Amino acid sequence: MAVTETMKRRVPLDDVMEELSRAEKLSSRDEALARAIAIVTFRRLGTLGHALRERLNKPPKDERLMHLLAIGAAQILFLDVPDHAAVDSAVQIAQDDPKLHHAGGFINAVLRRVAREREQILAESDPWLDTPTWLEERWIAQYGEPLATQIAEAHRAMASVDLTVKTDPEAWAERLGGVLLPTGSIRLVERTAIRDLPGYEDGEFWVQDAAAALPARLLHAKAGERIADLCAAPGGKTAQLAVAGAEVLAVDRSAKRLERLKENLARLQLKAETKAIDAEKLTAEPFDAILLDAPCSATGTIRRHPDVAWTKSEADIRKLSGLQTRLLDKAASLLKDGGRLVYCTCSLEAEEGELQAEAFLARHPEFVRQKVTPDEIGGLSECITPQGDLRTLPSQLVLNDHDRSGLDGFFVARFVHRGS
């Protein structure tokens, strides 16, 4: 089961699903259904666990059985799957597993009770149930309880799909039936296969959360500038820089991920030089500008990747913050006098954002912060910190259609080299 493998190995659900699809030779439809079930299971894992424990005299010791119950309950409570189909599917999975085949009757009884008591379970659900305690404590300490609660609530909703277009976002929003956001991204209203949308085959747009599109915009790339995109894959930011006419070097330590970046650029009919190397080891002539989207805990993407909440730990944050510090120092060494550096992470954690920015300026007096202004980000002044950096939260960008509200959590700081 993908949920068990993800939890056991503490790797991204996307990686596990890719392995599963390849091994089981799943059709695109079956893979999409399996992925949807796994995602909603992780998104509401706390609620599911609480509901199941309340209805079990003694929780099973086998975590796979508990996960199987959670998967069945997720379909009953949160997906448009008939109750009998969800129950039968879970029983069949157990019967096909030599270590779980004895549990069919048990699974049937528990899940049917969940179905009968659906309304009670949903009425009792608290937003903090679906957030691990260690994250709850961190966010309350950093943001205060009211705002932290809004973040936790936002994580329980499905993330919208945003697009970045090459040109004329207003016209494309109308053509695609989407909403043009104040930041310039297009938010789709209807969920549909991206490949079926007009303009996809012609390379007119790519999928990119509205918040993820802001760092490259804040770099203000100019035609002919030589710009490095460090830790570049899957390439959304590289594409933005290339559209602006910059000469882009896309760097990523993963050759496999760079291949995907190249495929994306080919569809978009854009060009960039690529280099598969650890960014810490990069040697090159000084750049006009650098975009560093550093590896991080990714807690800002929990709406989109809810497995992150259950597979990451504070130890990961400590380890990654050290890497971010080294990458920032490396980026600083690769800039021309007067060059621009945009640092960003898709993290909600101060150690990977605000504290990194302050520490960088303390280590590098040759750099100054260039503050973000509201007009650069569609007037979203609430996303600008007192220091002038950008901090987006999942609970921000509230639209009339609540189901289409929200942003990924990002931190962005912009620095300029003072010159010699």
Annotated active-site residue in 296, 344, 346, 383: 346
Q: State yes or no: is 346 an active-site residue.
A: yes
Q: How many helices (H) and strands (E) would you count in the chain? A: 17, 12
Name the nearest CA neighbour of 214 among 401, 402, 342, 357: 342
The helix-helix angle for 133-143 and 145-154 (nearest 10°) equals 130
CA-closest candidate to residue 201, choices 268, 271, 259, 270: 268
SS3 assignment, position 386: coil
**Distance between CA atoms of 391 and 406, rounded to whole angstroms?**
13
Name residue 161's amino acid: V
Q: Which residue has the tokens 């040109």?
A: 167
* 49 neighbors 70 (Cβ within 8 angstroms): yes
Largest CA distance in the chain: 75
Report in angstroms the alpha-carbon separations of 317 from 211, 299, 303, 322, 347: 21, 10, 19, 9, 10
Residue 234 preceded by cis peptide, ω within 30: yes
**Cβ-based burial of 239 (10 A; exposed 0-12, middle 13-18, buried ≥19):** buried
| DSSP string of 243-312, one letter each residue | HTT-EEEEEES-HHHHHHHHHHHHHHT---EEEES-GGG---SPEEEEEEE-----GGGTTT-TTHHHH-
Active site residues: 346
